[in-house]
Structure 1
Amino acid sequence: MDVTFLGGPRPQRGVGVVAPFDFALDRELWRWVPDEVSLHLTRTPYVPVEVSLDLARLVSEHETLHDAVRTLTAIAPEVVAYACTSGSFVGGIAGERAMCCAMTQAGDLPSVTTSGALLEALAELDVRRVALVTPYTVSVTQALEEYVAEAGVVVTGCAYMGLTRHIWKVPYRDVAEMARRAVDGGAEALFISCTNLPTYDVIPQLEAELRIPVISANQVTMWAALRRLGTRAVGPYQALIDPAARQSGPVLPDVPALPALPEAQALPDVPGLPDEEQQQEGWT
């Protein structure tokens, strides 16, 4: 069969993605990407450390980022994204900017990180008060709160899961329940942290239910990277991406509320936070 008349394959523009070694949601990233863009993923080297501030520091070392970006240069992406929230907020705003500089120097191309993209998305949506949901332990969650506060954004509420592994296995219903616990009347948006936490399908439902923009780690990472290409991410009924959803709110036909769960932790506002070693059974 002669297929020369097809004339393909279609030209592609490349986005390089550096992800932590345990990243498991490649397919979710692709869902935000238009047909004319390809993702090229590489991972940081394995280290025998569970999700923690220590791991965040290890997977964001400049030498590690340099080596990862260098592996992508042969295929000539137009932008590179570091897809890890904790790894890009653990050093504060100055640390995040230094990471971008290190990646840009390694590959001579524009660079974004998840936490930098978060602040960019909050500015795009004109949000100054945000609620947070994380799968992390107390200390990692507090580091995120400090990062957001450093940018001048008020954290109105926060809920966390206390996980140190297997974050990609958390079902949507658990993410939705934590979102409901985190949001109060003062939040202008909700951010769901961690690029290993599935969020694509839950965002429209939560926006319809909570009536505020809902942004997630993978969403803002892809949105910011694709912006550098001058193209748009794909995300129907997502306020950050879909202008119609942003202007009039999500319009979804009779989306049923997900059932509430009896056991979920809310980050306490009093002294005596629980020991990091006391993780929730059943989440991992």
Structure 2
Amino acid sequence: MPTVGFIYPDHAAEDDYPFAERLLGYRFSLPVEHIYGTDLHAVPELLDLGSEKRLAEGATLLAKHEPDAVVWACTSGSFVYRWDGAHEQVAKLAAAAGKPASSTSFAFVRAAQKLGLERVAVAASYPDDVAKLFVEFLGNGGIEIVAMSSEGIDTAAEVGRLSPEAVVELAVGHDHPYADAVLIPDTAMRTLGVINTIEERLGKPVLTANQVTIWEGLRLVGELPESDELGALFRCH
């Protein structure tokens, strides 16, 4: 069975991954291992969270699952390194794991490219200074941001406690008429169960952190299954 291992920071919405296994008919193994730091959405703490030492620890924890690829399942802990630094981060993770590797930030760029998105709206849970770094990262990936909102939520734990209804309203409330899609960049937010609801409300695709992270991992192992449960990204192959 194809196996993608995910390094997930602390605890918040990691149950999206076994949920995805079920939605994909248990054709893939998507094990999650945790590394621990702070869950604060602040630049110094995020740089520490995504450090080479911590990700190497995550790769070691994943080794028992014998993954075919590994993904750093943290958007802010990757884009905070900015474009070149995030490439270096992934290269060091691949070396530590001995497997192909990626991160959620690159997953967003590649998923947007797959859907042919040119202009997007960003509905971020982060404080404004952190959200702006995500916008910068997307811009380096050739994506135009026509609107950005930042909810100013300081910790991942708080994000993980958002209700499904609140997640839907976050996405719908921060759309923009010129946006081809809405992007929701926090892996601490449970989104897999509401993606189709959001897309129906918006009338356009939505890309969420855990969705694109799983898609990116499956892309790395050469497996891109179709699913009616996980939004336009999983219906486009």
The normalised TM-score by structure 2 is: 0.91
What residue in structure 2 maps to residue 7 of structure 1? none
Distance 1:93 1:46 in 2: 23
- The answer to whether the aligner puts 1:126 opposite 2:116 as a matched pair is yes
What residue in structure 2 maps to residue 176 of structure 1? 168
- The answer to whether the aligner puts 1:223 opposite 2:215 as a matched pair is yes
What residue in structure 2 maps to residue 138 of structure 1? 128
What secondary structure does 1:109 align onto? coil
What residue in structure 1 maps to residue 159 of structure 2? 167
Residues 104-253 of structure 1 correspond to what in structure 2 (within 5 A)?
104-165=94-155, 166-233=158-225, 235-237=227-229, 238-243=231-236
What secondary structure does 2:148 align onto? strand
1:235 positional shift: 4.2
- Partner deviation per Cα, 1:178-202 (whole Å, 9 max, x = no partner): 2233212110111111001111122
The higher radius of gyration belongs to 1
Structure 1 residues 52 and 234: CA distance shift in structure 2, 3 A: farther
Distance 2:89 2:233 in 1: 24
Gaps of 5+ in 2: none
Distance 1:181 1:45 in 2: 32
Distance 1:30 1:211 in 2: 28
| Aligned-CA RMSD value | 1.8
1:234 positional shift: 6.3
What secondary structure does 2:188 align onto? coil
What residue in structure 2 maps to residue 37 of structure 1? 28
- The answer to whether the aligner puts 1:70 opposite 2:95 as a matched pair is no
Which of 75, 79, 84 matches 1:85?
A: 75
Q: Give, as a single letter, the amino acid of the residue that structure 1 aligns with 2:9.
A: P
What secondary structure does 1:37 align onto? coil
What secondary structure does 1:50 align onto? coil
What secondary structure does 1:240 align onto? helix
Q: Identity over the aligned pairs, expressed in percent?
A: 26
Gaps of 5+ in 1: 1-11, 247-284
What residue in structure 2 maps to residue 279 of structure 1? none
Distance 2:218 2:226 in 1: 10
What secondary structure does 2:29 align onto? strand
Structure 1 residues 79 and 43: CA distance shift in structure 2, 3 A: same
Distance 1:59 1:129 in 2: 30
Q: Report if aligned partners of 2:187, 2:210 keep a CA contact under 8 Å in 1.
A: yes
What residue in structure 2 maps to residue 282 of structure 1? none
Q: Report if aligned partners of 1:159, 1:179 keep a CA contact under 8 Å in 2.
A: no
1:233 positional shift: 4.9
Distance 2:165 2:199 in 1: 14
Aligned length: 231
Distance 2:140 2:188 in 1: 24
The normalised TM-score by structure 1 is: 0.76
- Partner deviation per Cα, 1:203-255 (whole Å, 9 max, x = no partner): 11121121111110000000110122222356425100023xx9xxxxxxxxx
Q: Give, as a single letter, the amino acid of the residue that structure 2 aligns with 1:241.
A: F
Q: Report if aligned partners of 1:69, 1:103 keep a CA contact under 8 Å in 2.
A: yes
1:14 positional shift: 2.1
